[in-house]
Structure 1
Amino acid sequence: MSSALLKGGIASVGVGSAGLGGWAISSHLNNTVASVLSSKGYKLTSSLKESEQDAAWKKVTRTYQLEVRGDLKIKEGVVTDVDLKNWCSQNMKVQSNDALLRKASKWCVIYSSFEDKLKEEGVELEADTNSLKNRYSDLRELTNEVSKITPDSGTGDENGRKLKKWCEKMVHLSYSDDSVYQTFKKHCVKATTPVAGASG
């Protein structure tokens, strides 16, 4: 559940929107990475219009920084959006194997981030540090993780500023587990105020 929001457990946020389960290697012999992904219902980021690709690869990079772990790394060290784009381009026509498919299904396909889901739902991150300060005490197992954040300088309660910065970082997680997303929303989203109905 919310353990996927913890730094150490971030990798438990799933493989991608279509959900691959285990790759059955034998059924993918002699198929390219691109053809296997396509057969599983994935759409490649490279298939987007040219005008949409820069933003899409930047989004992948932000998610990569949060979710990458040993078996999903495309290389050691800092990875940029250009690195990810090039890696995906070079590996699409390669004969598929388990390791490549795991990486490609994570970094080379169109997916929804928490930020995308918030936009879809018409809700925003809470920016008021005083409101966030009140939520800080309700973080439970996330308290330790959020407390390590160095807040941006500014006025307002320090814990509120820490939570604000944490939310702004976690909004780039990939959406695959709704319970994780709902936990994130509970701590990070602006409370909606009911609109008073016009009395007539």
Structure 2
Amino acid sequence: MNKLAFTGAGMAGAGGVGLGGYAAYTMVQPSNVKEALIKNNFKLTSDLKEQERSKAWTKVERTYKVEATNDTKIGNKEISTTTSQDIENWCKTALEVGVKDKSYESTYSKASRWCVIYTTISEKLTSENKKLSTSESSLKTKYEGMPEDLKKSITGETDQTGQKIKEWCENNAKRSFSGTQDTHYQNLIQYCLT
């Protein structure tokens, strides 16, 4: 075989391998939000067994009402009136949004918060055998040692401080756990435990 033919055959082979590699690459790329979440090792709430799924959607609703902002809110309802069924229905639609859709990035970001299995701070505390204090007087004492910006976020009147901090602790325990260095987790450890 002459040198030119040998080079041509090599280039054709390389081109075929390149084309085959590209085809394989496109076959494994996610086509929608659901596939992208799974590829990124998220486990979907919708894949749970029925009884577990119902509890999980209720947990998502509680977390949603504490954590959702205008940027992470789903649908047109007020955050406080959004139900677990609203979130579940939104997720069913969101998981099918294609990667080429103009709303893909925003939808993926929201779905990675509201449509997947996660641990709450409360669950993390339970796994560490730690309990939230239910004593308003003990919580009121801890309130005095809080930084001013944290006190303002609780906004309790002096005679209701214990009750307000108890509610604040309970609400923050519903947040998703994102690590031991998370500010909400650290605040609960410092100011809300028995």
TM-score with structure 2 setting the length = 0.75
Residue 79 (1) aligns with residue 106 (2):
no
- Equivalent residue number for residue 145 of structure 1: 153
- Equivalent residue number for residue 20 of structure 1: none
How many residues were matched structurally?
157
- Which of residues 169, 172, 177 in structure 2 aligns to 1:170? 172
- Write the mapping of 1:59-70 to structure 2, written as runs, cut at 5 A: 59-70=59-70
| Amino acid paired to 1:48 | L
| Amino acid paired to 2:74 | I
Structure 1 stretches of 5 or more lacking a match?
1-27, 152-156, 191-200
Question: 1:37 and 1:30, CA in 2 relative to 1: closer, same or farther beyond 3 A?
Answer: closer
- Equivalent residue number for residue 93 of structure 2: 90
Question: 1:129 and 1:30, CA in 2 relative to 1: closer, same or farther beyond 3 A?
Answer: closer
Between the aligned partners of 2:153 and 2:193, the Cα distance in structure 1 is 18
Between the aligned partners of 2:137 and 2:71, the Cα distance in structure 1 is 40
Give the percent of matched residue pairs that are identical in Structure 1 and Structure 2: 36
Residue 71 of structure 2: SS of its match in structure 1? helix
* Bigger Cα displacement from structure 2, 39-48 vs 61-70: 61-70
Residue 70 of structure 1: SS of its match in structure 2? coil
* Structure number having the greater helix percentage: 2
How far the C-alpha of 1:43 sits from its partner, in A, is: 0.3
Between the aligned partners of 1:75 and 1:51, the Cα distance in structure 2 is 25
Contact 1:29 1:95 in 2 (8 A): no
Q: Where has structure 1 moved over 6 Å in runs of 4 or more?
A: none
Residue 114 (1) aligns with residue 121 (2):
yes
| Amino acid paired to 2:191 | H
Between the aligned partners of 2:135 and 2:95, the Cα distance in structure 1 is 44
Per-residue displacement from partner, 1:69-111 (whole Å, max 9, x unpaired)? 2221211222110000011112212213101101100100001
Between the aligned partners of 1:74 and 1:158, the Cα distance in structure 2 is 34
| Amino acid paired to 2:153 | E
Structure 2 stretches of 5 or more lacking a match?
1-27
Question: 1:29 and 1:74, CA in 2 relative to 1: closer, same or farther beyond 3 A?
Answer: farther
- Equivalent residue number for residue 17 of structure 2: none
Between the aligned partners of 1:67 and 1:104, the Cα distance in structure 2 is 14
Contact 2:121 2:175 in 1 (8 A): yes
Residue 44 (1) aligns with residue 44 (2):
yes
- Equivalent residue number for residue 25 of structure 1: none
Contact 1:37 1:105 in 2 (8 A): yes
Per-residue displacement from partner, 1:31-71 (whole Å, max 9, x unpaired)? 11111001111000111111111111111111111111222
| Amino acid paired to 2:176 | S
- Which of residues 113, 129, 133 in structure 2 aligns to 1:126? 133
